[in-house]
Structure 1
Amino acid sequence: MRYSALALAAALVCGPALADESGWRFTVGAAHVNPNDDSGHLGNVEAAAGLPSNSTSLKVDSDTQLGLTLNYDIDSVWSIELLAATPFSHDISMSAPGTAVDGLDVGKTKHLPPTLSLQYRFLDGSAVRPYLGLGINYTFFFDEHVDGELATTLDSLGLTGDKSLELSDSIGLAGQAGIDWEINDKTFFRAALWYTDIDTDAKVKVNGQTVQKVKVNIDPVVAFIGLGYRF
């Protein structure tokens, strides 16, 4: 009975303190996606164009968009975060050093990469809170289309007709590191980095038939700076 009474007293004392440590935080700022891209070789294109074997690959450029994060603080150190953004837009080009098609515009795509993470925040009680997180990313691609340069090149190789580009969606792990600086009781400044595993299968189709399929590892570093508000 004595231990039950002590447990009840501890719950009454600690319960409100724990509740005070939980809550919601929201940030808005700039998110920059910088791909560390790597892809397979475009064997069919190489054969059709008479290029050396394994001489081509795909490159994906970077983009900056409005970034948003929503945190639910479980307690003073653990937090769950959702990263979202307005759609990122990327140009895709061909890398073929020493050939006439090096830098050829292949196409464009947009994507959204929502990422859900569990964070551990250091320096409890400090105005400066570094943190680490691990989570899962789901990236879906849309609004893909073939660029005119690639369409013209395919036509010259005898691959005439309707042309399209398709990229498969991706699920992968995401790691992050960041820091929050408290401005006052309600607002704070945030800087953060994510490394995200994003892999997709890219298909170029002519008249609905796949003429080239290649695996592309985008694996970007996402940098974010923004202002936050604590509810």
Structure 2
Amino acid sequence: MIKTSAAALTSALLLLCAPAMAADLSAFDQPGALVEAPGPWQVRLRALGVLTEDEGSVDGIAGSDLHYSDSVTPELDITYYFTNNLAAELILGTTKANVHTGGSIDSLGKVGSTWVLPPTLTLQYHFTDFGAFKPYVGAGVNYTMFFNQKDSGPFTDMDIENTFGAALQVGFDYMVDDHWGFNVDVKKIFLEPDWTAKLGDTKLSGKAELNPWVIGAGVTYRF
């Protein structure tokens, strides 16, 4: 009697467990079932082209203009995903820019040079319906710091002021797997800092209308 009851109980347990065991075994048959899912953090290493608007002015001088050198620089950004669609991205990089006179004051030549540090924070919406192709749009704020400023030619005491600006962004990641991918990114930063300098004993002031396009391409890693 005891043996019969034990056999019946064993059979019942096997029948109850069979669906769960089958589900577990089928999971091993799925490609990538044992691959760890990516976490909320992502980093990118990109090469950036910084293309300025090449406009500006000196107060009180009609037809005055300013020009700035374009540059290529490495950049690191860090992204945190709140959901699959919403993320925040912090962009870090620095580059050097030269400032030249133009227009009616073109003959005065180079005003000086400065290093530019423009950390930018954007809130992004990521589209997730296109498989490995993952486009996104973003908007945020930029705070640009100008440091190691150096005068040139007849100019002295050049000072470009740190300033806030708005930023718009569009781009995409193409993911090779759950962690690695390629990235292309375009930003428009609205940046018009005030500046001052001396030309002999005359103090000049004006606005540097940089408003750069920032175009980047690089590698993405999600972890």
**Scaled by the length of structure 2, what TM-score is found?**
0.77
Q: Give CA deviations for 1:160-208 in whole Å, capped at 9, x if unaligned.
A: xxx221010110110000010001121010000000011111110369x
Counterpart in the other structure of 2:162: 169
Q: Residue 107 of structure 2 aligns to a residue in which SS?
A: coil
| Moved >3 Å (runs of 4+) | none
Count of aligned residue pairs for this structure pair: 187
Task: Give the counterpart letter for 1:184 in structure 2.
Answer: D
Counterpart in the other structure of 1:185: 178
Deviation at 1:100, TM superposition (A): 6.5
Counterpart in the other structure of 1:30: 47
**What aligned pairs does 1:77-88 form with structure 2 within 5 A after superposition?**
77-85=85-93, 87-88=94-95
Q: 1:110 aligns with which of 107, 115, 119?
A: 115
CA distance in 1, matches of 2:71, 2:154: 22
Counterpart in the other structure of 2:26: none
**What aligned pairs does 1:69-218 form with structure 2 within 5 A after superposition?**
69-85=77-93, 87-96=94-103, 101=107, 104-124=109-129, 126-147=131-152, 149-151=153-155, 163-205=156-198, 211-218=203-210
Q: Give CA deviations for 1:94-133 in whole Å, capped at 9, x if unaligned.
A: 1026x7706x111101111100011001134610011100
Flag the 1:118–1:228 CA change in 2: closer, same or farther, 3 A.
same
Q: Give CA deviations for 1:36-74 in whole Å, capped at 9, x if unaligned.
A: 13212353xxxxxxxxx5132111111111111111011
Counterpart in the other structure of 2:23: none
Across the aligned residues of Structure 1 and Structure 2, the Cα RMSD in angstroms comes to 2.1
Counterpart in the other structure of 1:64: 72
CA distance in 2, matches of 1:118, 1:59: 31
Deviation at 1:227, TM superposition (A): 0.2
Which runs of 5 or more residues in structure 1 are unaligned?
A: 1-19, 44-52, 152-162
Q: Residue 101 of structure 1 aligns to a residue in which SS?
A: helix
Task: Give the counterpart letter for 1:117 in structure 2.
Answer: T
Contact 1:77 1:124 in 2 (8 A): no
CA distance in 2, matches of 1:129, 1:222: 20
Q: Give CA deviations for 1:134-177 in whole Å, capped at 9, x if unaligned.
A: 10000010111111x234xxxxxxxxxxx221010110110000
Q: Residue 154 of structure 2 aligns to a residue in which SS?
A: helix
Counterpart in the other structure of 1:11: none
Which runs of 5 or more residues in structure 2 are unaligned?
A: 1-36
Q: Residue 126 of structure 1 aligns to a residue in which SS?
A: coil
Deviation at 1:33, TM superposition (A): 1.0
Task: Give the counterpart letter for 2:55 in structure 1.
Answer: D
